[in-house]
Chain A
Amino acid sequence: MASSVDRTKGTYVMLSGNHAVSNAVRLSRVQVVSAYPITPQTPIVEKISEFVSSGELKARFIPAESEHSVLAAVSGASSVGARTFTATSRQGLMYMEEVVHWIGRGMLPMVMAVVDALIGAPPDNWTEQDSSLYQRDTGWMIFYCETNQEVFDTIIQAFRITEKMSVPVMVCLDGSYLSHTSEPVLVPDIALVDKYLPGRKDAIVADPKKPHRLFGPAMSQEFNAKLRRRTHEALETAAEFRKTADREFESIFGRSYDDIECYKTEDAETIVVAMSTVAGTSRFVVDRLRESGQKVGLVKVRMFRPFPGNRLVEALKNAKKVAVIDRNLSYGHGGILCMELKASLYNEKKRPTVFGYVAGICGVPITPELIMQIIADTNAKETPEEELIWMGIGKSEKVKAV
């Protein structure tokens, strides 16, 4: 089936991660876009504005006055059945927060690109995944991308999923490392994208011909709780549908992505677990260490919500040790991926020892050397001395309580 498709219809273009997003939005024929300027996301909407202005994308661009209004505006458009998109970063995502919950719980189809960067104070533009990971409880589907091609492809897949499942999808890319770094991206012919995205056919939109009421206050506690269960179950079902959507995508475009990706893990004794560009660097390190005979592997987590816990348990069951690299932090606890992974493993009889490393926050580079240090640290110890191991920023002189 896949071979019948002409995958050559397309062009390789050097694109930054941001412009990969813009082009995916253009090819997806998004109808309503709203955004507010914020570094490092801004080039996405600048490019989209150009597309709208030139007519390459027939859409309405709403230059709203704040991120809160941005998400409300795209929600409004989505609630009547339009294909909608927005993009944001760090503080902007925080300012949107209320609406992120509102439409996650309310299940409105839409795609949002989040260019990961740190949250103030103090403010800055360097990469860090805190802001997007804090959205893990909002009812959105969340993906982390490793390359600009993956960014491009995930945006298109996201529209397929969101419009079929009525679950909003967040596609995250690391600030600077992807957003402002150009890579060759195969931009397919728009006809192929049209074939992949049939358009919205939601049963439930605000329509004067079939009046429904969307997102009204709860009628009763129990009724509202049922709605919550539905939101949760819809996320799980959306994860199932993602596989279908990926098979369809592969048949047309020849590329495929999974919830998680296992790299050289079959016989690995130590496995690195990472997301986004950290996974790319880790892959390089795994190859180097394999050359020196170390049984090291990599598990890349691509879909963070719904959390692929069972897949991870299966992928890690034969490893002795796992090193989780978190470019994020839940203050007072630890790396968020690490916490979630540990929770998934807890009920397993045979489970690896998990080492949690927090590295690269506030844009500190995660170099191959740093990852090698992490693996060396994991291999050197029987069990982690601390729940949270800081890497790359030296030793801490802990403040003592008076």
Chain B
Amino acid sequence: MENNKVVLPDSLLHPAYLEPEIIARARRKTGEWRFLRPILRNRTPPCSGACPAGIDIRQYLEFVRKQDFGEAWKIIELNNPMPAITGRVCYHPCEVDCNRKGLDSALNIHSIERSVGDFALRQSSRRPKVKARKEKVAIVGSGPAGITCGYYLSKLGYPTTVFEASSVAGGMLAVGIPEYRLPRKILAKQIEFLQRFGLEIKTCMAVGNEKGLDDLFDQGYLAVLLATGYQKGRQLNIAGENLPGVIQGIEFLARPATHAQWRNKEVVVIGGGNVAIDSARCALRLGARPLILYRRSRKEMPANEEEAQAALDEGVRIQFLASPVGLKSRNGRLVVQCEQMELGQKDGSGRKQAIAAKGPGFEVEADAVIPAIGQFTDAHLYTANGIETDGQGNVAVDENLLTSRKGVFAAGDCATGPATVALAIGSGRKAAISIDVYLSGKEYPVSKTGEIVQFEQMNLAYFSRQPRQEGKSLAPSARATSFAEVAEGLSKAKVVKEAGRCMECGGCNKCANCWLFCPDGAVLQDGAQLKVALEFCKGCGICAQECPRGVIAMEEETKWQVQ
């Protein structure tokens, strides 16, 4: 029927036939329009940036959210082998810097850490196999710096011995931190745990002051770490300081139970730091009526705010702007003679100075007086062994914690000056690295300190307000009669929920907002990763703007830069 003399190529039929050509032309390389380039990179969250031990908090919280406490522990353990301790006693600078506080309130990181730490302590502590090494290491002092260093070295296979002068291991953890903050059972478990790689702790073994280090080297130790801490209480330098009934805070805290006779007695604590607060709260638990005398005001108190508040809650009284100028004995009691102070100009620490006010002083009667105005380290050990000290009497160390004597390292308070448990742990870990480098001859690892994500760099549109999960604490009335732990910690459900509040600042969690919002479809899902197809990316920056956690930055294209 069809007389197809007229045979047309399809190409003659319709203007749309050239579609393949259109598509080919349409795939223009729009990346050439770009003058800004998105860079996807993880940045440091403020919590990790603030953590003296440098724990990757964002990452372990991710595992906690998945209820994988084992993996969370592994992340913490890379920087801190005793989260059960730090979860209780660290003053958590991570929470102070937490970006979440700009939205609602900071994450309860320490409770989560404590929970992970307790989880780890509950696991069986079979001794894992490590490749043994022969270089012996000695550590002087079993405080957090010493045992942390010992833990990591023994994990690396170094036969490591900790020498502790006292009868209990743990240093300040055992003799400085009251039981109601750190139950001794937990500490004992933790120390036992740390020894599972073969770390040996010898208590009641003081390293002799004279030639002490020489002896250690003679015994075949190739490296020695000094982690002796700040063990001595600072003198008030006022009259009557050595009267009976006067006891240094640091000494009182080591054995509070021996002062049971203070029941219903007046105890005056002098100072505004953590030792003063701890001493007052311990005295309260013995049944005494503690009064803290502090020469400045509440605002200037160096003690941790939460601890100070807890002391007030429990009934500890604090008299501000009171400076003791003398002690004397009267009718079998002690009398603290005080000057009334007032606040002046700010000093070097940024706090207002206390200056004596005109007018008469006053007296406070007490049955016992606890000076707690600071500690110092006994520099004699160092100088006697040919180790240089700095102006404060601390061991002089370089950035890798090497002292002036070959093979001798120093960590913790004795090297850094008085600080926190977390800093001591960080310092101990750093010393372990240095000693490993020293003994094995390898290179120092490159330290990675990224730019810290600021609150302003977070996109709050992607976060909703959620209340902070708070753990219960012992009622203040119950605390007055017991050294039982005050903070109860969080339930597992609450821990997981709290970890869910983490905003994961600076960490790409594959939320894929960049992919979703790219008008050009130029962000590709490459397996588990997201990457930018620069061939087509026009550099609009929506991905950076809409990244909830500040992972993407826009950088100027080098091709536009004047060489």
Contacts and interface: CB of A to CB of B under 8 A. Distances in A.
> Within the complex, are A and B direct neighbours (CB within 8 Å)?
yes
Interface of A: 105-107, 165-166, 202-204, 212-216, 219-220, 223, 226-227, 230-231, 233-234, 237, 240-241, 244, 247-248, 251
A306 to B, nearest CB: 14
B19 A166 contact: no
A160 to B, nearest CB: 11
Contact of B15 (A106, A203, A248, A251): A106
Tell me whether chain A's interface is mostly helix, strand or loop, or mixed. helix
A248 B17 contact: no
B18 A244 contact: no
Given A220-B25, A234-B13, 17 more contacts: A106-B16, A165-B13, A202-B14, A203-B17, A204-B14, A204-B16, A212-B16, A213-B19, A215-B15, A215-B16, A219-B21, A219-B26, A230-B11, A230-B14, A240-B5, A248-B1, A251-B1
Nearest to B20: A212
A227 B12 CA distance: 9
A233 B15 CA distance: 12
Contacts of A233: 12
21 contacts: A105-B15, A106-B15, A106-B16, A107-B13, A107-B15, A165-B8, A203-B13, A213-B16, A213-B19, A213-B22, A219-B25, A223-B18, A223-B21, A227-B18, A230-B11, A230-B12, A233-B12, A240-B6, A247-B3, A248-B2, A251-B1
Nearest to A231: B15
Interface in B313-341: none
Nearest to B11: A230
B5 A244 contact: yes
A165 B26 CA distance: 28
A271 B337 CA distance: 141
A212 B19 contact: yes
The 4 closest A-B pairs by CB, nearest first: A227-B15, A204-B14, A214-B16, A241-B6
Contacts of A107: 13-15
A374 to B, nearest CB: 38
Nearest to A226: B18
B12 A244 contact: no
A244 B15 contact: no
Query: Which of B12, B13, B14, B17 neighbours the largest number of chain A CB atoms within 10 Å of its CB?
Result: B14
A166 B1 CA distance: 20
A204 B13 contact: yes
Given A107-B13, A203-B13, A237 B18 contact: no
Contacts of B22: 213, 216, 219
B12 A248 contact: no
Nearest to B15: A227
B10 interface: yes
Contacts of B8: 165, 234, 237
B13 A166 contact: yes
A219 B15 CA distance: 12
A244 to B, nearest CB: 5
A225 to B, nearest CB: 11
Contacts of B3: 244, 247-248
A41 to B, nearest CB: 29
Given A237-B6, A244-B5, A247-B3, A230 B16 contact: no
B23 to A, nearest CB: 8
Contacts of A251: 1
Interface string B370-403: 0000000000000000000000000000000000
A257 B194 CA distance: 106
A203 B19 CA distance: 13
Contacts of A248: 1-3
Contact of B14 (A203, A220, A244): A203
A212 B23 CA distance: 10
B10 A203 contact: yes
A245 to B, nearest CB: 10
A244 B6 CA distance: 8
B30 to A, nearest CB: 15
Interface in B12-53: 12-19, 21-22, 25-26
Contacts of A213: 16, 19, 22
A215 B22 CA distance: 11
Contacts of B19: 212-213
